[in-house]
Amino acid sequence: MKVAVVGGGVMGAATAWRLAKRGADVVVYDRHSPPHALGSSHGESRIIRTAYFEGSWYVPLLQEVFGLWRELEGISGKRLLTMTGALMIGGESSENVAGALAAAKEHHLDAEFLDTEALRRRYRGHVVRAGDVAVLDRQAGILNPDASVAALLAHVPHVESETEVRSISDLRGRFDRVVVAAGPWTPELIDWLPLSVERQVHGWFSFARDAEAGSWFTPDRFPAFVRFSDESGFMYGIPSLDGKTVLTSKYMRGVSGHVTRTLTCMYTNTPDGHFVIDFSPEDRSVVVISACSGHGFKFGPVIGDIAADLVLDGGTRRDISRFSAARFAPSPHVPHHDGHRDQ
């Protein structure tokens, strides 16, 4: 089967890897030269975790994806995943703490609840205030996105870089199937999905002049984290990967306010923050992946495998019912009970 994949970011590259592995004749088109720093899949770190507060229905996919990342490491000889654990920090009823705890209980995950005292004692890099607690998710760590996308593309036989796809119908004539994984550019090709693009900036801060501080942020002592507070909302960070700086916020101890570097990147958000992995309602030979909303990278290989299932088998054994495009389809008009139709 001849398959065109639009987009060489983590979603398109992973899809092409899984399709090629299953013998499909696949071509990836990218408007830039992937891996590149103009979309959503670049930089030195992405958090991967399992006690998923966004929804426990993601957990089976996460339990599967670690094996696929290790498979990619095996065939590429590259270290892509560093296990550090992850802390969900906040008040006991905050979405990330309560959601991670619920997912951990439902799926019997390797996770631990830390009360305020335990959190303060064990993780000195964090400013811990009264009422702050945490869930330590041990099946979690950091992926290297630049190395990961390069490793994926190294296992894709045919990549057409600097080649912009202007319309899906251009490809439909030449290929049996088309996969659209265009990230923040998806709205240019798909007009029936309500997506919004959001600019994001990562910042690295140098350690404070406190001799001890640096030792608080090493990967073995400082899990990646997602923190929620009423006044600042969600923030996240990872341990120091260079021994000098840390990706952080004002909720840290031993960190100066000095920003040493930044990185810009883009989220592609759906209205409910969950993914779209589905056939096009207009043409079942077109599969659309919009799996971002700021949390898609970790799922790359398993979403790629699901997309390969949809392309080659017309369906998949995984439960992707929550990722259907139909949930955003405009609901058929219901006349108001007052008899007046909306204008």
Residues at the interface with ligand FAD (CB under 6 A)? 6-12, 29-32, 34, 39-41, 46-47, 164-165, 181-185, 188-189, 200, 202, 265-267, 292, 294-298
Q: Which is nearer to ligand FAD, 227 or 298 (CB)?
A: 298
Residue 58: which residues within 8 A CB-CB, separation 6 or more?
52, 103, 299
Which residues, listed in sequence order, are joined to residue 84 by a DSSP beta bridge?
none
Convert 137-158 to b/e letters by CB count within 10 Å (16 or more is b). Answer: bbbbbbbbbbbbbbbbbebbee
Q: Closest separation between CB of residue 74 and ligand FAD, Å? A: 21
| Tokens encoding 251 | 């909720």
CB of 116 to ligand FAD, least distance (A): 26
Residue 47 or 103: which CB sits closer to ligand FAD?
A: 47
| Smallest distance, ligand FAD to C-beta of residue 36, A | 6
As given in the structure block, the two tokens for residue 274 are: 């969950």
Cα–Cα distance measured from residue 88 to residue 90, given in angstroms and rounded to the nearest whole number: 7
| Cβ-contact 281, 287 below 8 angstroms | no
Closest CA to 219 of 239, 235, 197, 248: 239
- Shortest Å distance, C-beta 211 to ligand FAD: 30
Residue 208: CB minimum distance to ligand FAD, A: 24
Dist. CA 32–CA 220, nearest whole Å: 37
Q: How far is the CB of 166 from ligand FAD (least distance, A)?
A: 7
Kindly tell me which of 189 and 306 has the beta carbon lying closer to ligand FAD.
189
Nearest approach, Cβ of 144 to ligand FAD (angstroms)?
12
Beta carbon of residue 183, minimum distance to ligand FAD (angstroms, whole number): 3
**Min separation Cβ 35 and ligand FAD, Å:** 8
Cα distances from 93 to residues 13, 77, 110, in angstroms, run 38, 42, 20
Nearer Cβ to ligand FAD, position 40 or 248? 40
Report the residue number whose CB is nearest to ligand FAD: 9
Helix axis angle for 10-21 and 300-313, nearest 10°, is: 50
- Closest to 224 measured CA to CA, from 300, 111, 95, 138: 138
Nearer Cβ to ligand FAD (21/32) = 32
Nearer to ligand FAD, 9 or 90 (CB): 9
Q: How many CB atoms sit inside 10 A of residue 51's CB? A: 29
**Of residues 296 and 301, the one with the C-beta less far from ligand FAD:** 296
User: Pairing mode, if any, of strands 141-143 and 81-83?
Assistant: antiparallel
50 vs 213, which CB is nearer to ligand FAD?
Answer: 50
Nearer to ligand FAD, 29 or 213 (CB): 29
- Cα separation of 14 and 183, whole Å? 13
Q: Quote the CA–CA distance of 223 and 293 in Å, as a whole number.
A: 22
CA 44 remoteness from chain centre: 14
